[in-house]
Amino acid sequence: MKLLIDMGNSAIKWASLKQKRLSAQQAIPYQSDSLDNLLTQAWLKLDVPSQGIWVSNVAGAQKAEILSHWMKTHWELNPTFIKTSRYECGIKNAYDNPKQLGVDRWLALIGAHHLEKGPVCVVDCGTAITLDVLNGHHQGGIIMPGVTTMHNALLSNTQIQVNQTLQDRDKQAFLAQDTQTGISLGILYAVIGLLEYVIGHFEKQGYSLKLILTGGSVPALEPLLNRTYRYVPDLVLQGIKAVVSTTNG
């Protein structure tokens, strides 16, 4: 069994790979508990991934070190941390400096390339929202604050006070009659506007992009989407699978 791990900014996600079949994605958010305790609670009863461990990490060096130490202590194994490259799995990186492209974005592109044929727009709605276009090769991308990040930033930089969360808005409203719904709609419309602007630009050039969404904020956006899309919660893990399969067979 192989273990594939996606260490994001807000949560760690994983799945096992057995005989080229990927299990359902599991996830735990980073909370006040230490990462070591969270890993022990989640993984101590897992089968030892004797065929290897592959990791996408954008959570920083400290969390990577904790992860490596836990695996060495409990499984006597060292994980392989995947790096962004200039070319892999049939995709060429558009960045002048390929290493500047986050490995999660790179793997999401690889995953999308293996799941869908033709031009795609890949949008990851997490702590940050990233949008990348793949048309034969990576065309480049855009980064903006995520839905929850925008919500928290507005409240922390103004005197606006609300007791509700982003999910508590009036789902039927187009324009708001209360502050919380006004904030929520403004944020969600900003994201939808970005998608429409980028996809519309390519449509004017004669390209029809398939929209692929991933990330924890997708459910908040779904009611507002008027385009056909595919939601792939484990897109990064699908990319890791493609890399591992290409490298190890």
DSSP codes, 8-76: -SSEEEEEEEETTEEPPPEEEE--SS-HHHHHHHHHTTSPP-TT-EEEEE-S-HHHHHHHHHHHHHHHS
Residue 208: give the domain boundaries: 87-239
Residue 61 sits in the same domain as residue 139: no
Number of domain units in the chain: 2
> Where a domain ends, among 81, 113, 140?
81
pLDDT for 10 equals 86
Residue 95 sits in the same domain as residue 75: no
The ranges of the chain with pLDDT < 50 are none
Is 170 a catalytic site residue?
Answer: no
12 is in an annotated binding site: yes
Specify the pTM. 0.92
Q: Is residue 180 domain-resident?
A: yes
pLDDT for 165 equals 59
- Radius of gyration, alpha carbons of the chain: 19
> Where a domain ends, among 19, 53, 81?
81
In which residue are the tokens 């929520």 written? 184
**At 188, which CATH number?**
3.30.420.40
Residue 101 sits in the same domain as residue 203: yes
Using the CB atoms, write b or e for 98-108: b if 16+ within 10 Å. beebbbbbbbb
80 is in an annotated binding site: no
pLDDT for 196 equals 95
In which residue are the tokens 């048309």 written? 135
pLDDT for 210 equals 96
Residue 24 sits in the same domain as residue 118: no
Which is catalytic among the residues 33, 104, 170, 178? 104
Terminal Cα distance for the chain, rounded: 14
pLDDT for 163 equals 63
Condensed to tens digits (0 to 9), the pLDDT of residues 13-72 reads: 999 999 889 999 999 988 656 889 999 999 998 999 999 999 999 999 999 999 999 999
CA 159/CA 176 separation, integer angstroms = 19
DSSP codes, 179-199: HHHHHHHHHHHHHHHHHHHHH
Nearest to 122 by CA among 225, 149, 85, 130: 130
In which residue are the tokens 């060292």 written? 78
105 is in an annotated binding site: yes
